[in-house]
Amino acid sequence: MTDPRTQATRIQMDPAHVSSGGGTGWAYFAGIVLFMIGVFNILWGLTALFNDEALTVGEQGLIVWDFTAWGWIHLILGIVLICTGLGLFAARGWARWTAIFFVMVSAFAQIAWMSTYPLWSILIITLDIIVIYQLTARWEE
């Protein structure tokens, strides 16, 4: 009969059970979601660049918006988010903090689109909050 304390010690010392600095399933999940958010931002940015004028009906009447600057911002942000998501797949510590920062920027940027495209903005903000939760509450050192 083996002693449970020595068996627990062997499991803790086994290299297969040692944490690799955040390379857990939760970090991979956050990386996948971050990659998806980056792709969504790139699509959103390209859409704003190719169709840069949008019509909105406000209290004062018809308003024409020029979305070229927002298109470039979303395009660049999407590329950065994809690169950061790839860094999370490699379990890099810098990618964790970079992801948290840029996901917060992405969530705040979506607030500007809330009146024009509310469902899209809510979807992206929800994904951003999920990534922030996974990278702060579920990260293992």
How far, in Å, CA of 110 to CA of 117, rounded? 9
CA dihedral 41, 101, 129, 37 (to 10 degrees): 20
pTM for this entry? 0.64
pLDDT at residue number 119 = 92
Render each residue's pLDDT in the chain as its tens digit; 141 residues: 555 555 555 545 444 444 445 457 777 888 888 898 889 889 988 888 887 666 555 666 555 566 788 788 889 989 998 999 899 888 788 888 898 998 888 888 888 878 878 898 899 899 889 888 888 886 666
pLDDT at residue number 59 = 63
- Beta carbons within 8 Å of 72's beta carbon, 6+ residues apart: 45, 49
Domain boundaries, the chain: 42-56+71-141
Q: Cβ of 5: how many Cβ atoms within 10 Å?
A: 8
Q: Cβ of 96: how many Cβ atoms within 10 Å?
A: 22
- Closest to 129 measured CA to CA, from 34, 23, 32, 22: 34
Rg (Cα) of the chain, in Å, rounded? Answer: 21
pLDDT at residue number 90 = 84
How far, in Å, CA of 44 to CA of 121, rounded? 11
pLDDT at residue number 56 = 56
- Closest to 44 measured CA to CA, from 139, 116, 130: 116
pLDDT at residue number 2 = 59
How far, in Å, CA of 116 to CA of 120, rounded? 9
| DSSP string covering 51-69 | S-EEEEEETTEEEEEE-HH
